[in-house]
């Protein structure tokens, strides 16, 4: 009887593990689909952002009426909703300072 109960417990454990494996496989497939959808969505958003960026820079003019060079400037949006055009070399130095502050806080 003890051996029979042991075999029964072992069989139940195996069946539970097989069910867990099946459920995890279903979950894995679901997560793969979700990841794929998110990746496509991110790609579409990046494309829209690039189009918007190009459109904005195509309309911008400097004080002399010449087009603003998108290679030299970036669009910066502040927390209060203000939008600025900033030279790239200033942004890079600000990012370095921000990264140094974050590392110090850690």
Which of 70-79, 86-95, 97-106 has the least mean pLDDT?
97-106
pLDDT of residue 71: 86
Taking CA atoms, 24 is separated from 4, 18, 21, 30, in Å, by 30, 10, 5, 10
| Side-chain half-sphere CA neighbours of 37 within 13 A | 6
pLDDT of residue 17: 98
**pTM for the predicted model, two decimal places:** 0.62
What is the C-alpha separation between 17 and 19, in angstroms, rounded?
Answer: 5
DSSP letter assigned to residue 85: E
**pLDDT tens digits, 4-52:** 999 999 999 999 999 999 999 999 999 999 999 999 999 999 999 999 9
CB 70 within 8 A of CB 54: yes
């Amino acid at each position: 009887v003890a051996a029979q109960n042991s075999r029964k417990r072992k069989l139940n454990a195996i069946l539970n593990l097989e069910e867990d494996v099946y459920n995890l496989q279903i979950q894995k497939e679901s997560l793969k689909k979700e990841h794929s959808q998110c990746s496509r969505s991110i790609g579409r958003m990046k494309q829209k952002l690039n189009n918007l960026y190009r459109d904005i820079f195509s309309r911008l003019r400097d004080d002399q009426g010449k087009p603003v060079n998108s290679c030299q400037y970036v669009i910066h949006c502040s927390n209060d909703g203000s939008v600025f055009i900033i030279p790239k070399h200033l942004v890079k130095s600000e990012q370095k300072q921000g990264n140094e502050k974050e590392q110090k806080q850690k």
